[in-house]
Structure 1
């Protein structure tokens, strides 16, 4: 039975400048909802990223280990199962865990970062997943069919998306000027 008395919300703004957030002293109202949330929350003012980019930093954030220990350094690396994630620990303790992500390096790649979440909603990638409406919305048989269809598309698209994370020709092709517009639009990269 899941424990309903505990709430842990971890907000990660990968590559967002802290000096443009009101809770950290920025005087323009650029982040009113985040500022309101921070006013009732624990937040850190002197945190230092353990890695120089998204993959090792998130692997450390989720595992509690430094990059030299977990060795998840590149986009095609997978966080080893020997490292239990924060979501694993919370879920095993009876806390319902749900992830919401708009970063394909965290939410699309099969790198172990989603491990331990009861639900994980990925808003990026070729086939985004979003929470179902609890009431109303689509006719139930159609919703079930649509769900099966999107699951199939995800299974088919993951190997392709993961191939682009490998440090080889696919990754280099993804950086070519003619490919970038297609990647950003069709791939819904970073929510665009």
Structure 2
């Protein structure tokens, strides 16, 4: 066993606190978190430093406000002079690994994956949400159904969830807008949320890729 403790940083991206039973929701939506919270510190007045994924994660990884780390736009890149949590822990002897279901963390060249020795991106969650919410049958049929299909295509292609090649007629509205600002660093893997959690669990159980006694830091975004 490592002399230093293993660390897990898990983010439930866009999760509402008032829908977790440990925060007073009347239905048992989070039994495992409830059990963990009973023996842990539960913050009742936590405030996110940013209103969306990129600046908030940059603050989590650096301990700085968005006005300080300046990563607050889609095309922002974390300055090299700013040290990330993963870099600090790597320098402290940790094996650092990331598991993300959000393409804005890890797939985009914004510097938020800097310092991680291993980083895995998964696309199942987004693709599943898109196919359920945008492709469902419409009572009005016809035009609405076709619009939903077009919207799903554009969003899926823009975020990299589909394997299809985008049609040229859609080019002004989809990929070039993102590609002008973003550089995709890696391809994402197809996996369910439980599959990525299993991979993270196996890292701690089997400690593959680590040296003897080396502690592990794992960042998990669901």
Q: Is 1:180 paired with 2:119?
A: no
* CA apart distance, 1:180: 2.4
Partner of 2:26: 27
- Give TM-score, length-normalised by structure 1: 0.62
CA RMSD of aligned residues (A): 2.9
CA distance, structure 2, for counterparts of residue 43 and residue 81 of structure 1: 33
Partner of 1:67: 66
- Give TM-score, length-normalised by structure 2: 0.54
Partner of 1:91: 90
- CA deviations on 1:18-45 (whole Å, 9 max, x unpaired) are 1111222223222223333333444432
Structure 2 residue runs without a partner (length 5+): 125-149, 164-187, 194-222
Report how many aligned residue pairs link the two structures: 141
Partner of 1:110: 109
* CA apart distance, 1:11: 1.8
* CA apart distance, 1:118: 2.4
The verdict on how the C-alpha distance between 1:49 and 1:96 changes in structure 2, with shifts beyond 3 A counting, is same
After TM superposition, the structure 1 = structure 2 runs for residues 33-182 of structure 1, keeping only pairs within 5 Å, are: 33-124=32-123, 177=151, 178-182=153-157
Which structure has more RCO (C-alpha within 8 Å, separation ≥ 6)?
2
Partner of 1:162: none
Structure 1 residue runs without a partner (length 5+): 126-175
Greater gyration radius: 2
- Larger deviation: 114-123 or 39-48? 39-48
